[in-house]
Amino acid sequence: MSPDILFYFFAALTAGSALAVVLNKNTIASALCLLVSLVGVAAIFVLLDAFLLAALMVFVYAGAVVALFLFIVMLLDTYGGDRKPFKKATIVSSGFALALLVLGLVTFADRGALETPAAEASATAVVPVGASLRAYGEQLFTTYLLPVQIVGFLLLIAMLGVIVLSKKFEGLEDVK
């Protein structure tokens, strides 16, 4: 069970379920495929030693965001068979775009791609980058102190925005 096999397994899982998100006819099934995809990404993060991010990915994305999606889908009652079959032009152009993507990736790989920097060094490192919580704390509250403040402010504004959006205002509802 080398990490390589794990990588290919989780990469296939992630990409496959991501594709299923797009192709699924049922919105709830799409949301669940998104969930699988996100858990796959979290596993990829674990392979990259970013344990905190993996846990956060599961906690925030898989635990809350997708649950919110499901909640809204059920609330709006719009699931089930809402996808019309794609038009022929769409399929052709998608195939063309897929060919372009493959071409791009192949060219990228063919040109020697990016060097994997110092692969040996990372293997010998005592603690891999992103594995310790302490590093995050230090970075967040020294170098990235201003972004942290801004993000906090952003969250506050988002909260206010959601409250305003979901509040019913008198009189506005009649305007159609």
Partner 1 sequence: MTVGLNEYLYLSAILFAIGFFGVLLRKNTLIIYMCLELMLVASTVALVAFSHFNRTMDGNVFVFFILTVAAAEVAVGLAIIVALFRRRQTIMVEELNALKN
Partner 2 sequence: MFDFYFEIPHWIRLVVQGLAVMLVMFPIAAACSMAERKIAAWIQDRPGPNRTIAPILAWVPGIGFLQRLGLFQLAADGGKFAFKEDAVPGHVNKLYFIAAPIIAMIPALTTVVAVPFGAYIDSAGKLVPIVLANVDLGILVVFAVSSLGVYAVILAGWASNSKFPFLGGIRASAQLISYELSMTLSVLPVFLWTNGPLATDAPGSFTGSLSLARVVEFQSQAGFWGGAWFIFLMPLSAFIFLVALFAETNRQPFDTVESEADLVNSFGSEYGAFKWSLFYVAEYAHMLIGSAIFMLLFFGGWNPLPWITLSDVAHFLGFAHLPIVTGIVGIGIFVGKVLAMIFFFMWVRWTLPRFRYDQVMAIGWKKLLPLAIANLVAYTIGIALL
Positions 17 through 56 that interact with partner 1 (CB under 8 A): 18-19, 21-22, 27, 30-31, 34, 37-38, 41, 44-45, 48-50, 52-53, 56
Q: From the CB of 151, what's the least distance to partner 1, in Å?
A: 5
**Under rule CB under 8 A, residue 69 binds partner 2:** no
Single out the residue of 14, 36, 39, 43 in contact with partner 1 (rule: CB under 8 A): 14
Q: Judged by CB under 8 A, does residue 68 bind partner 2?
A: yes
Q: Which does 128 bind (CB under 5 to 8 A by kind): partner 1, partner 2, none?
A: partner 1
Token pair, residue 161, equals 């925005």
Residues 6+ apart with CB under 8 A from 50: 130, 131
- The sign of the torsion formed by the CA atoms of 3, 5, 8, 13 equals negative
Q: Are 73 and 28 in contact (CB under 8 A)?
A: yes
Q: Which is nearer to partner 2, 11 or 56 (CB)?
A: 56
Q: Which does 83 bind (CB under 5 to 8 A by kind): partner 1, partner 2, none?
A: partner 1
Site for partner 1 in 98-137 (CB under 8 A): 101, 104-105, 108-109, 113-119, 121-122, 125, 128-130, 135-136
State the DSSP code for 86. P
Q: Which is nearer to partner 1, 116 or 171 (CB)?
A: 116
We find the least distance from the C-beta atom of residue 157 to partner 2, in angstroms, to be 17
Rounded Cα distance, 57 and 137, in Å: 17
Collect all residues with Cβ–Cβ distance below 8 Å to 140 and sequence separation of at least 6: 148
- Other beta carbons within 10 angstroms of residue 89's beta carbon come to 8
C-alpha closest to that of 51 among 126, 112, 135: 135
Q: Which alpha helices (H) appear in the chain, and where do they start and end?
A: 3-23, 27-47, 51-56, 66-76, 88-110, 119-124, 133-141, 145-166
62 binds, among partner 2, partner 1, none (CB under 5 to 8 A by kind): partner 2
Interaction site with partner 2 (CB under 8 A): 1, 28-29, 32, 35, 51-52, 55-56, 58-59, 62-64, 66-68, 70-71, 74-75, 131-134, 137
